[in-house]
Amino acid sequence: MTSYESLTWRQASPGIWQRGIDEIEEPASLLTACKARPVSHPRTSSTLLRPWSIVTCSPCLRAPRRVRYINYILRNERAGCAEPFGTSKHPAALYHSVSGQSLVVDMDITPGKADAATRKEEFHSIVRHMSEFYNEVRNDSEHAALVPDLWAMGTPELPLVPRPLPVPAPNSHPSVSISSMGRVDTIVSPRTGAFDVLDAWVTGEELGTGLGIFLGSFKGRLCVSAAYNDAWHNEAGVSDFLQRAKDVVWAGMDLGV
């Protein structure tokens, strides 16, 4: 039997959007480890963070079970834009399209702590699956023709009722999404005239019960940001999630913990 894994959250009313950060202190070590394995494309290194949302969300179990992570990929379309819309001269705009098929990752969770070899093989199995899915979406020659229909299918019809519309109920099975911004230097110029930009970052506004994870680098600094709403999560819980997730990645890539 397969269960659908979700993030733990607390019951509350919608609150304020917050951002937690975790700077990767040795990004060169991670990128070198990526290139030594099938994960060779720089942006594909973001797939290493996808197992975080599976491995670290799983609660303590009394019996083995299979869990499933389901999400999709947002494909960055800035590279296909005419100038200046895809350059640092137009940094405020983000252009994405959604993958036509869902990303589905199955894994078996067992009680207790698995041995290091088993966990490492499980980790790399997920990484290989993510890399294949990422490359399939990125290289899909028919993707652009399907995008309007894909967005239309994912856009719900609003009810014909007097405004204001009722507040939607919170998602009782939230997940963790991740967006790779890549090198933010190509979006926001590190220097404009007399002004130096010290720390450029971007996240979406998180109104729901899930976490929005954003991976990007600026001036050689690799940073993971977690957007969350303080109605459902707190800073300590989000920081703990990011740290445990980082430990999983570092162990899987033989970088130590």
Instruction: Categorize the per-residue pLDDT at 4 as very low, low, confident or very high, splitting at 50, 70 and 90.
Output: very low
Q: Domain map of the chain by residue range? A: 19-144+174-192+201-252
Report residue 165 CA to chain centroid gap.
30
Token representation of residue 81? 């834009």
Q: How much is the average pLDDT of 118-132? A: 83
Q: Who has greater pLDDT, 236 or 41?
A: 236
Q: How much is the average pLDDT of 33-39? A: 73
Q: How much is the average pLDDT of 148-172? A: 78
Q: How much is the average pLDDT of 216-225? A: 85
The percentage of residues in the chain with a pLDDT greater than 90, rounded to a whole number, is 1
pLDDT at 7: 63
pTM for this entry: 0.78
Residue 106 has pLDDT above 60, yes or no: yes
pLDDT at 200: 83
**Furthest C-alpha separation in the chain:** 61
pLDDT at 140: 86
pLDDT at 3: 41
Residue 2 has pLDDT above 50, yes or no: no
CATH topology for 19-144+174-192+201-252 is Chloramphenicol Acetyltransferase (3.30.559)
